Amino acid sequence: MTNKYNMPTIYDPHVVEDKWYKYWEQNKYFRSIVDPEKEPFCIVMPPPNVTGQLHMGHALDNTLQDILTRWRRMQGYNALWLPGTDHAGIATQAKVEEQLSKEGTNKYELGREKFLERVWEWKEQYGDRITHQLRRLGSSCDWDRERFTMDEGCSEAVREVFVRLYERGLIYRGYYITNWCPHCQTTISDIEVEHLDKPGQLYYIKYPILGSPEEFITVATTRPETMLGDTAVAVHPEDKRYKHLIGKTLILPLVEREIPVIADEYVEPEYGTGAVKITPAHDPNDFEVGRRHDLPSVQVIDREARMTKEAGARYQGQDRWECRKRIVKDLQAKGLLVKIEDLSHAVGHCYRCSSVIEPMLSKQWFVRMKPLAEPAIAAARDGRVQFIPERFTKVYLNWMENIRDWCISRQLWWGHRIPVYYCRECEEVIVSKTRPDQCRCGSTNLEQDPDVLDTWFSSALWPFSTLGWPHKTVDLAYYYPTSVLVTGRDIIFFWVARMIFSALEHMDDVPFREVFIHGLVMDALGRKMSKSLGNGVDPIEVIESHGADSLRFMLVTGNAPGNDLRFHFERLDGARNFANKIWNASRFALMNLQDYAPKKSPEHEQYTLADRWIVSRFQRTVQECTGFLEKYELGEAARVLYEFIWSELCDWYIELVKPRLYGKTGATDRELAQQVLVGVLRGALELLHPFMPFITEEIWQRLPHRGTTVMRAPWPEYRQEQVDDEAEEQMEIIMEVIRGIRQIRSEMNVPPGKQAEALIVTAVSGLREMLADNLAYIEGLANCQAQVLEELIEVPEQAATAVARDIQIFVPLRGLIDVDKELARLTKDRQVLEKDLSRVAGKLNNPSFLNKAPAEVVEKERGKQAELSSKLDAINERLAIFGGR
């Protein structure tokens, strides 16, 4: 007929993937158009950084989103997967500054306006790299709706939100301790600080008491360089050791400044000496203590992590680490250093550049969080937002219930500039969505705040800003709230929580009904993939070597929601083998469809047992796969499909129908076999399509089908009337018999080409009749001539046996194999096993070995002993069959 039945012998994913993605995109099959007659399903893509390239975390996250989108689309939903990218303030600015540095210039020489022009040029040149890579993964996004966090629509939404929150008193500006990155030269929020355990020291320092030179309080600190900014020493009010000193004055070592001893319940008497130095300008907890006791703040470290003039002339200008060494020497010289203890402690690092952050007092813009957090907490508690797995609800609530105000200003040039203007004449503060012409005082001498907003401020609006808010668009009315958010467990605080409280504040509804949380992709040893460890795996390289379908299937199988996934190349090879299995089985099927003419569905009575069985198993697969997808157990859905396609369809049914396809049982039977095979194979491809879109499209297009693409084919519906318990039970018994005969042939080294004799004995009459009626299946798949008997009068000599339920199987071996040669081989194998077993037993009977060897080594030897014993028992059984000893 047509060439579509002539599939290449080898599956080449490169040819197939490029061809079909272009076909889908050119024909707008990913496009979603508002249709009030259809129920919407909407996912907004967590926007990857415009600086980024696809990594395994992206690959997993977007594979899961694509599976859900393709599945719901096939179910008839009006599915929209809305893509976009994030401007990534710190990372993008760093990229461009790096370019400028190579050119021998910097942003200050260019000026803000010219610098921003360079950043936009960079974005236009490199910003779509990751979206092209997402296409290679097979992502079925509506690319016509692609958004960028700094496009005009999203920028308008950001300004609108800032002004609204300010007018409600939820945005304010004030002095507060923030996390400052000396390398990125900006503040970062608490959740952007990575706390890593590092080796350090605890320094015990004497603080003399004023008027009593011989008396002192000893404090312990990990950061002696900050002592230059101390404004008090705090003790617990109930600590008997220090009660008499509360209210007295100390002399701050090296600085000679007088500071008080104060009482505060913040102090833990058990930690260190029970006396704590208070440095309000350089520690968030000390800052709170300072506010409670009206202490001054002395800033001794600047934005470049160098000591300020307030640190004293001796230390001014020194790097913080250099200063630490100098202070320790000076304290030792003055006899004020009691001791130094080694310890491991958590040190805050910038999540972008890994520099040690510096807590620093500065004037910043903040969002008041308590009023916004309360509705967001209620939404999780009453089920309006559901986390999957449910355990992440507690993680979310714990953070929200202990939330602190959010520092939203960043000392960058790239980003959404804060819509605040200062009058240089009267110092009026004007918050406005657009630049005002003049101040209330009449002055036009206005200056906009130089800072930009935290990148997450715009990302928090993503579910509704991308649909047109603050305008009342058709898209917003139809698709919002979105259906589900798919994201990693590591950004629940960064992003998920912020989207929820922002949506409730500005949309008066949740941003999504469900949050599907997945884990992280780790290396084979369970370590997080990172540049520093050099253990990352490039998804594009994997797609080049194995194909996108193999990568997708590997990422989704063997993993439960919320759990981390270990990347193993062996599992990737297994996924590729699965793709090849599907290809080869489909190629065989298509080779036998050259004369296929679709007809109306046959009557159930016309089906053979194998037909009834595969149709029933397919229906159960539909039911199980759909059920697992509904529960977001995508790994289990993939497992069910793998087992059905690999084992039941390819290994069993196709083998069972080969005689019929070859015309050995008549033309009518061949037509029926073709029809069942086409229906089940096509249905299996439709179920598999969300997981492996490329190979399924390629094969589906070659099979008889309706429609233009598998991605818009109806999702197979479960049909109870086609489930056949009897056929499944009977076929399972036949398969057990076949397995039994195959196992005998394998264990006894019967040559594959030699036909065996098989005696199948059962006293159960109904079972006997069923086996006799279907003897052709057993003879064809076990390469034997079989008889079904009620009883065996005499057991054949040299016969191997197997048992399947109420059935005994005998395979006479005389004439099948060279008995003498097999006896010699088995005898030799037994001697080797006995020798190995004796050596292991000697170790395990040796008290010295048992006492000195590590437990895991001893356990390994015991396992080896059990394995050798089992093999020896099996060989002895086979020798007994031949009369050997």
| Chain segment 522-539, per-residue pLDDT in tens | 888 888 887 667 788 899
Asked if pLDDT for residue 86 goes beyond 60, the answer is yes
Asked if pLDDT for residue 15 goes beyond 60, the answer is yes
pLDDT tens for 779-835 read 999 999 999 999 888 878 888 888 888 899 999 888 887 777 767 777 777 888 888
DSSP 852-883: HS-HHHHHHHHHHHHHHHHHHHHHHHHHHHTT
Span 485-494, mean pLDDT? 88
pLDDT tens for 245-303 read 999 999 999 999 999 999 999 999 988 899 999 999 998 889 989 989 999 999 999 98
- pLDDT at position 161, please? 98
> Which amino acid makes up residue 158?
V
CA distance 588 to 661: 10
Span 345-358, mean pLDDT? 83
The single residue listed with the structure tokens 């050995």 is: 664
Residue % of the chain over a pLDDT of 90? 70
Residue % of the chain over a pLDDT of 70? 98
Between 543 and 667, the more confident residue is 543
In the structure, what pLDDT confidence band is assigned to residue 1 with cuts at 50, 70 and 90? very low
Span 311-331, mean pLDDT? 94
329 is in an annotated binding site: no
Asked if pLDDT for residue 2 goes beyond 60, the answer is no
In the structure, what pLDDT confidence band is assigned to residue 884 with cuts at 50, 70 and 90? low
Size (the chain), residues: 885
- pLDDT at position 739, please? 95
> What are the residues whose beta carbons fall under 8 Å from the beta carbon of 229, sequence distance 6 or more?
279, 280, 281, 282, 297, 298, 299, 300, 301, 310, 311
Max mean pLDDT among 175-189, 525-539, 573-587 falls in 573-587
Span 332-341, mean pLDDT? 94
DSSP three-state, residue 804: strand
Q: At what angle do helices 497-506 and 392-401 cross, to 10 degrees?
A: 70
Confirm if 180 and 82 have CB atoms less than 8 A apart.
Answer: no
Helices (H) and strands (E) counted in the chain, each on its own, are 29, 29
Determine how β-strand 232-235 pairs with β-strand 257-263.
Answer: parallel
Contacts by 431-436, CB closer than 8 A, 24 or more apart = 431/162, 431/163, 431/166, 431/167, 432/163, 433/156, 433/159, 433/160, 433/163, 434/159
In the structure, what pLDDT confidence band is assigned to residue 351 with cuts at 50, 70 and 90? confident
The single residue listed with the structure tokens 């003399």 is: 208
pLDDT tens for 677-699 read 999 999 999 999 999 999 999 99
CA distance 589 to 284: 69
Span 418-440, mean pLDDT? 94
Asked if pLDDT for residue 601 goes beyond 80, the answer is no
Tokens of 236: 């617990």
pLDDT tens for 456-466 read 999 999 999 99
Span 320-332, mean pLDDT? 94
Domains, the chain, with CATH or none: 194-359 (3.90.740.10), 588-722 (1.10.730.10), 728-812 (3.30.2320), 819-881 (1.10.287)
Other CB atoms within 10 Å distance of the CB of residue 104: 7
- pLDDT at position 532, please? 66
CA distance 417 to 409: 9
The single residue listed with the structure tokens 């920028």 is: 155
- pLDDT at position 318, please? 93
Max mean pLDDT among 126-135, 545-554, 603-612, 871-880 falls in 545-554
Span 604-626, mean pLDDT? 94
pTM strictly above 0.75: yes
Confirm if 812 and 799 have CB atoms less than 8 A apart.
Answer: yes
Tokens of 607: 């089906």
Question: How high does pLDDT run on average in the chain?
Answer: 92
